[in-house]
Amino acid sequence: MNFIRVSLSIVSLFITTTLFSQSDEAIFKSIYKTALTHGKSYDWLNYLSNQIGSRLSGSLGAEKAVSWTREELEKLGLDKVWLQPVMVPKWVRGAKEYAYIKSTEGKTTTVNICALGGSIATPALGLKANVVEVHDFEELDSLGRAHIEGKIVFYNRPMQPDVIHTFEAYGGCVNQRYEGAVQASKYGAAGVIVRSMNLRLDDLPHTGSMTYKDLPNDKRIPSAAISTNDAELLSTMLKLDPDLEFFFRQNCKQFKDVLSYNVIGEITGSQFPKEYMVVGGHLDSWDLGDGSHDDGAGVVQSMEVLRLLKETGIKPKRSIRVVLFMNEENGLRGGHKYAEEAKKNGEHHVFALESDAGGFSPRGFSLDCTDAAYNQVLGWQHLFKPYLIHYFEKGESGADVSPLKTGTNVLAGLRPDSQRYFDHHHASNDTFDAVNKRELELGAATMTALVYLFDTYGVHEISSGLKN
Ligand SMILES: [Zn+2]
């Protein structure tokens, strides 16, 4: 046995012992410090938002984002980086939409609209019709064909301002956008205008997905969102002048599905390589802004989790994957594809965490798991408290990771402060300048901390993992 080798093993024994003897508190400190002093997430977001820009499925931006994130992950020295092919829908907005309100006296007022994702175009010269305002589908049903046929249905139920969890307020309204066209079409409506999903009064229309379900082509009607200010204006004008007309023109188009990819990177587990833990966000975005909050933030935070693990010297026992999902916004094809492949390959996913609620200050996590696993997380709550992260709830995780649910594993969603999220969501002001560097970094550190804990202690009841 030679002397150098003996010294080297003493050094490595020392390093290993030092790492393993560190308390969870000390490891948390190291994770947060690294994220806040030389984090990478903000620079990555700058590139993704300002050099690549919006990333609607099937667009050039989405394609560029796939290649660039793959290259960046390759630079991290992970054990594996690869692309997972997935077919995605391709919808294109076309020329900027145009709309105005025309009073019975002939005066016109232009208003701000945008086509909803998946909508058909109006006729080339636009669509002009009287308007009927409703607040929900019951009201629509009670009016019936006599009052709706040939008209534009205007859905104007606002997000409830007194709901503290703004995602709940969103959930209480979004059916107007998603299936408003299907409902209105039943009564022969000519088109649909939806109040933007936004708690603030401003001039920006917010897009988002909508469905025609199985409506035949001749029953499909064009649908657009109108800014909250203009929704208020239209509503007021309708009260004074019920016979006014609304004009809108949009030339969006749905193309055939195209090939795209989920981008995946992995640190292979040192003890339980066949137990997988996923962190992810979605790489696609809407096309009006650059998708910095939705979901550029989640993408760079998830990449940062793997970088922070490496940089802080944490060697995961389980295999940790970053998955940048394609097509969350208008199809969820990437999320389904990943889960389908995982099942086919017999991969056991014990944990999956998604960040897709904006890059704001992290408050905690929403957990979709067994009571036993939830109690396990509550037992770790004190570790997060010094970072002012103390909000833990049982609830939904994230759209892309939810197909991984087995009933025994843990699915989680990062829960940032949500008060300003819907000011930007799916609108042209979802841009890099709206994301705060420290808030973004705190989110990445918080995700890393939870991954560290689940990797160290295993998932309650189902993991074969050794405890520290
Ligand atoms: Zn999103």
pLDDT in tens, 441-453: 999 999 999 999 9
Instruction: Summarize the confidence of residues 255-271 as an average pLDDT.
Output: 98
Query: What is the whole-number distance in angstroms between the Cα of residue 57 and the centre of ligand 1?
Result: 13
- Name, in order, each residue with C-beta under 8 angstroms of 436's C-beta and a sequence gap of 6 or more: 359, 360, 361
How much is the pTM? 0.93
pLDDT in tens, 6-54: 444 444 444 444 444 589 999 999 999 999 999 999 999 999 999 999 9
pLDDT in tens, 394-422: 999 999 999 999 999 999 999 999 999 99
Instruction: Summarize the confidence of residues 130-139 as an average pLDDT.
Output: 98
Active-site residue (options: 133, 275, 328, 441): 328
Q: Express as a percent the part of the chain with pLDDT over 70.
A: 94
What is the DSSP code string of 394-430?
A: ES---TTTGGG--SSSEEEEEEE--TTHHHHTTSTT-
Give the integer Cα–Cα distance in Å for 335 and 353.
12
Partnered with residue 249 across adjacent β-strands are 98
Q: What is the pLDDT of residue 91?
A: 98
CA atoms within 13 A on the CB side of 45: 33
Q: Which residue has the higher pLDDT, 15 or 133?
A: 133
The rounded mean pLDDT for the chain is 94
Query: What is the whole-number distance in angstroms between the Cα of residue 333 and the centre of ligand 1?
Result: 14
311 is catalytic: no
Instruction: Summarize the confidence of residues 110-128 as an average pLDDT.
Output: 98
Give the integer Cα–Cα distance in Å for 326 and 300.
14
Query: What is the whole-number distance in angstroms between the Cα of residue 282 and the centre of ligand 1?
Result: 7
